[in-house]
Amino acid sequence: MYDEIKRLKKEKDIVILSHYYVDGEVQKVSDYVGDSYYLAKIAREVNQKTILFSGVCFMAESAKILNPEKRVLIPDALATCPMAHMGSVENIQKMRKEIQDLAVVCYINSTAELKAHCDVCVTSSNGAKIVKNLPQKNIYFTPDAHLGRYIASLVSEKNFYFNDGYCPVHQDITRGDVENLKRQYPKALVLAHPECSLSVLKLADYVGSTSGIIDYASNSSIEEMIICTEIGVFYELERRNPHKKFHKVISNQICIDMKKITIEKVLESLKDEKIEVEVSEELRNQALIPLNLMMELA
């Protein structure tokens, strides 16, 4: 299967971009693997006219919005991030009416419709930097309350309001789970994604995006780590650090939507050149504004 994927990529001039949460075997056949910000950036830089996006829908949709002249394919259109649907346009409109001097900041894990009503997008790797540089004093952060609260802890000069969305995968990791594991492996560092609750982040030696976690673990002289994020990162962690020991916190640290992108579906997608991501021109033009501002400020 690997050889066929390689042959089809070359023959059809298709580039494969993958997120660190998809299966290792999909990461293995990819041309670029990274966190959400890196993938949005690289989608603009690649020369190929067709991008096959191995990730959830909002990622492929963002790639299409940023690159309307390119064709973007997703192997399974039902791979959607539940948190992306937890924000509401009505709440944004209500906040805009009630709060003066307000910036609506939207995590990139959101639908194109939600982005279209926001001022700027952020990812887990650039959120604090971007929010610090906004001229508004008040921030409404949507959809993820945990990432919002983490950014607020780093940007004390602003007033924050939060939507109450969350990532089910990171929400399930509790402070008690991490404490238990710390007792079992006292020498291990705790590395956590900011989609975890603040009570988990308080126990962490490092907080960052998927790429941040992988880089930190790889550059550290410590040999053992507790990883508070989705299990897909273990592929790259173990590939780069075969002698280090990585512990997951709970058994179901798994994003079922990311896992819908199987190697079989990647092959099918290459063969049939489907499923093409479509975004209407009107929606694209509106959602492009906060995405472009993110690229500028990041």
Contact call for residue 81 and ligand 13P (CB under 6 A): yes
Least CB distance to ligand SF4 at residue 83 (A): 5
Beta bridge partners of 227: 191, 248
Residue 109 touching ligand SF4 (CB under 6 A): yes
Least Å from the CB of residue 97 to ligand 13P = 31
- Largest Cα–Cα distance of the chain, in whole Å? 57
Binders of ligand 13P among 8-47, rule CB under 6 A? Answer: 20, 35-37
- Among 27, 50, 111, 209, which residue interacts with ligand 13P (rule: CB under 6 A)? 209
Binding string to ligand 13P for residues 154 to 173, with x set by CB under 6 A, is what?
Answer: -------------x------
Encode burial over 230-251: b for 16+ CB neighbours within 10 A, e otherwise. bbbbbbbbeeebeeeebebbee
Query: Nearest-CA neighbor of 123 among 57, 195, 21?
Result: 195
Site for ligand SF4 in 149-168 (CB under 6 A): 167-168
Least separation, in Å, of the C-beta of 282 and ligand SF4? 26
Candidate segments 93-101, 147-155, 216-224, 250-258, binder of ligand SF4 by CB under 6 A: 250-258
As a whole number of angstroms, the distance between CA 266 and CA 285 comes to 29
Binding-site string for ligand SF4 from residue 20 to residue 49, where x marks contact by CB under 6 A and - marks none: -x----------------------------
Query: Which of ligand SF4, ligand 13P, none has residue 53 at its interface (CB below 5 to 8 Å by kind)?
Result: none
Interacting residue ranges for ligand SF4, rule: CB under 6 A:
21, 56, 81-83, 109, 167-169, 195, 230, 255, 257-258
Interacting residue ranges for ligand 13P, rule: CB under 6 A:
20, 35-37, 81, 109, 123-125, 167, 193, 195, 209-210
